C-alpha cells in the first residue's frame, strides 16, 4: 500500500476531513484496501463520525460504495452494525446495495437487528422506500411533460 493511501485510511478513521480532502487532491486511492480488505469508506463508516462529511468527500471523489472487504462486508453493513444511522442514510442515498450479503449470508439489516440498532434499522427500511417513491414521483413528473 502506498503511504498516502495508508494516510487516507488513517484520516478516515479519525474523521480528519481536511486531511482526507488533501490526500484525495494529492492522488490517494479512495478505493485502496488494507490487509483486511477495508477501504477508506469502510473505515469512515466504521468509526461513524458525527457528520457524514468524510463519507461525502470520499463518494464525491469516486469511492465505490459497494466494495466488499475480505469477509464480504460493505461500508453499509459496517455502518449499520455500529448504529451510525446518518452514515447508513448517506450510503443508501449514494447507491449502496441494501440487499447485499456478506460471506455469512448477513445483510446490513440483519447485522443492525442483531445488535438492536433501532436507528439503523429504521434507516435501512425507510430510506430505500423513500428513494423508490421519489423515483416514481420523478417518473410521473417526467411522463407529464
- In this structure, which CATH number among 3.40.50.300, 1.10.1660.10, 3.40.140.10, 1.25.40.20 belongs to the domain 3-144? 1.25.40.20
Q: Is the pLDDT of residue 142 over 60?
A: no
With cell 475480505, the residue in question is 70
Q: Domain boundaries in the chain?
A: 3-144
pLDDT score of 1: 67
Instruction: For residues 145 and 142, give the distance between their C-alpha atoms in angstroms, rounded to a whole number.
Output: 6
Q: Which cell numbers in the block locate residue 4? A: 498516502
Three-class HEC string of the chain: CCHHHHHHHHHHHHCCHHHHHHHHHCCCCCCCCCCCCCCHHHHHHHHCCCCCHHHHHHHHCCCCCCCCCCCCCCHHHHHHHCCCHHHHHHHHHCCCCCCCCCCCCCCHHHHHHHHCCHHHHHHHHHHHHHHHHHHHHHHHHHHHC
Global pTM value: 0.87
List, for residues 76-120, the tens digit of each pLDDT value.
Answer: 999 999 999 889 989 998 999 999 999 999 999 999 999 999 999
Q: Confidence band (pLDDT; 50, 70, 90) for 48? A: confident
d(CA 26, CA 24): 5
CA atoms within 13 A on the CB side of 76: 29
141 has a pLDDT exceeding 80 = no
Amino acid at each position: 500500500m502506498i503511504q498516502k493511501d495508508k494516510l487516507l485510511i488513517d484520516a478516515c478513521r479519525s474523521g480528519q476531513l481536511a486531511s482526507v480532502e488533501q490526500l484525495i487532491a494529492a492522488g490517494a486511492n479512495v478505493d485502496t484496501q488494507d490487509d483486511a480488505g477495508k477501504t477508506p469508506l469502510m473505515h469512515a463508516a466504521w468509526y461513524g463520525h458525527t457528520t457524514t462529511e468524510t463519507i461525502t468527500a470520499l463518494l464525491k471523489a469516486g469511492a465505490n460504495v459497494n466494495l466488499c472487504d475480505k469477509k464480504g462486508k460493505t461500508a453499509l453493513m459496517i455502518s449499520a452494525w455500529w448504529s451510525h444511522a446518518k452514515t447508513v442514510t448517506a450510503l443508501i442515498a449514494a447507491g449502496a446495495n441494501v440487499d447485499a450479503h456478506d460471506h455469512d449470508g448477513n445483510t446490513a439489516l440483519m447485522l443492525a437487528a442483531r445488535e438492536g440498532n433501532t436507528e439503523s434499522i429504521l434507516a435501512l427500511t425507510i430510506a430505500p422506500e423513500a428513494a423508490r417513491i421519489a423515483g416514481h414521483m420523478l417518473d410521473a413528473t417526467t411522463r407529464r411533460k
